[in-house]
Amino acid sequence: MCKKTKFNLKVCLLCFSVAFVACGSTQVDKKPIQTQLTDKLGQDTLVAHTFTWEQGDFKKVAFKTPDYSGQNGKIGWTAETFQVPEGLRVNVDFWKNIYQKYDSHQGVLHDSFHIDLVYKEIDFHPIMRDESLSNSEKLRARRKLVDSWKDRVKVAVKKIKGKQELDDFEKEVAAKISKYTEKNILDNLPDKGRLRFQLGQKDFIKNGFFHSGLYMAQLEEIFASYDLPKELVRIAFVESSFNLRAHSKVGASGIWQIMPATARRSLPMGYYYDYRNNPIAASHTAAKLLKYNFKVLGDWPRALTAYNFGAAGMRRLSKKLGTDKIAEMSKERTGRWGFAASNFYASYLALLDTEQKLLSMYENFQVRKPLYHKEIRLKKAVNWAWLKEQIPDLEDFKDHNPQFKFSRFEGDTYLKKGLKIYGEVPVMEALNVALLKAPKIKASKFQIHRVSRGETLSNIARRYRVRMSSIASVNNLSSYHEIRIGQKLKIPVR
């Protein structure tokens, strides 16, 4: 197993709406520029999460363009199912450019309603190449550049409305706006929240496809077991760019961006583990949800969009708008049905197109060599210190088990009964035999503590002279902040 390095990039997967705020932190230079940038963005986004990109000499295989034909019998599938609907092509073409043309140091200033009304392409590469600038200075320069062009667009629209003399850029804006028949369009542009900046995704998507090689074959098998078209697996790229550690500000996690309320039905979560971050386990949950959405809605464009918007929400929206056609629905804005939700299906279709073009975009494109898993469900609690002594390659075990938060593991950490662990077939077969002789963990004794106002897990732990991690583990807390007034906590007795 190669030695790997990691770095964090906080990114918005689909929709960067740039409304920068001032940056005054003296610590900002310690973060990568992408993290700083999106820390300071006002975001209209499907998913905002932290990227953990791994670099190293991975084992690779040649990428093969998938063949989606011959899926007769899969739910809702025909050869035309995922073709671009009439009326949605403009939106799909916009997202093709975001995935195939612009990288994360480029983007477009555009109208959020007429998505193809692009006022200006903006390139940050000169800023990023300037070695005299610190990260915070690059951040400010990017912010200033976008703000200056937003101001110029606003001035242009104002002068067009006033029939004033225009400069060359303003004439270009006028020519672009004149192509649209929207009533009172100059009154609506751009002062009603429709002027937005979209960052490119080309490098993020490429990286996502590279790492997806680890799991793609198995995920397609999982979806096939639910009689689902394998195209649906690609929703994970729209949700997270296939980032195993993607975590949104609203609590969604993993490549499928599953919310805690959904996960509690089928995916264990605790202080030491979160099975939303295991693509194998989480894909079963995602497949069940998509299958349910189709049962409720009856077509894949809406069922797929419901993964983002909710099946009940899509059903109500169809009734309100009087249509079940996603192309017609995408032209509307009402309530929660804003830019992100209305563009979800278009961005998905653009992703499918991008996948088909990878070999023309990147000659001899390769992906990571697949991991083939065997799973074991623990029949009893197992001490981690003992378990890792039975594992021949600890780094390989970590690759197979991204659901575990290994940085939190300590000497007395144990994996509770019922949890699943994954690994290569011979390793798991040997481990299954070893587990029969695993030492029994002594039953712990507890006392009960009721949380009072102002208490934190830290001062509770100090009071009882136990580690916070021990309290978090026995109470199945996913973080140290997950306590509330009146909650009864089990405290291990020393």
pLDDT digits (tens, 9 = 90+) for 91-144: 999 999 999 999 999 999 999 999 999 999 999 999 999 999 999 999 999 999
Exposure string over 177-204, b if 16+ CB within 10 A, otherwise e: beeeeeeebeebbbeeebbbbbbbbbeb
Q: What is the pLDDT of residue 6?
A: 38
pLDDT, tens only, 268-325: 988 889 999 999 999 999 999 999 999 999 999 999 999 999 999 999 999 999 999 9
Q: Which two tokens stand for residue 211?
A: 């790492």
Q: How far is CA 189 from CA 53, 151, 163, 167, 174, in A?
A: 38, 12, 15, 19, 12
Residue 494: band (very low, low, confident or very high) from pLDDT cuts 50, 70, 90:
low
> Which backbone phi and psi does 448 adopt, to 5 degrees?
-100, 135
Residue 303 host element (H or E)? helix 300-309
Which of these, 367, 428, 365, 364, lies nearest to 214 by C-alpha position? 367
**Is pLDDT at 26 greater than 70 in this prediction?**
no
Alpha-carbon distance 294 to 315, whole Å? 11
Q: What is the pLDDT of residue 245?
A: 80
Half-sphere exposure of 305 (CA within 13 A, CB side): 30
Burial of 56 (0-12, 13-18, 19+ CB in 10 A): exposed
Q: What is the pLDDT of residue 447?
A: 81
Alpha-carbon distance 156 to 149, whole Å? 10
Residue 415, strand partner residues: 382
The answer to whether the beta carbons of residues 234 and 348 sit under 8 Å apart is: yes
Residue 397 host element (H or E)? helix 394-400
Residue 443: band (very low, low, confident or very high) from pLDDT cuts 50, 70, 90:
low
The answer to whether the beta carbons of residues 197 and 118 sit under 8 Å apart is: no
Q: Which two tokens stand for residue 333?
A: 């804005």
Residue 200: band (very low, low, confident or very high) from pLDDT cuts 50, 70, 90:
very high
Residue 9: band (very low, low, confident or very high) from pLDDT cuts 50, 70, 90:
very low
pTM exceeding 0.95: no
Alpha-carbon distance 470 to 410, whole Å? 10
Q: What is the pLDDT of residue 56?
A: 63
pLDDT exceeding 70 applies to what percent of the chain?
Answer: 87
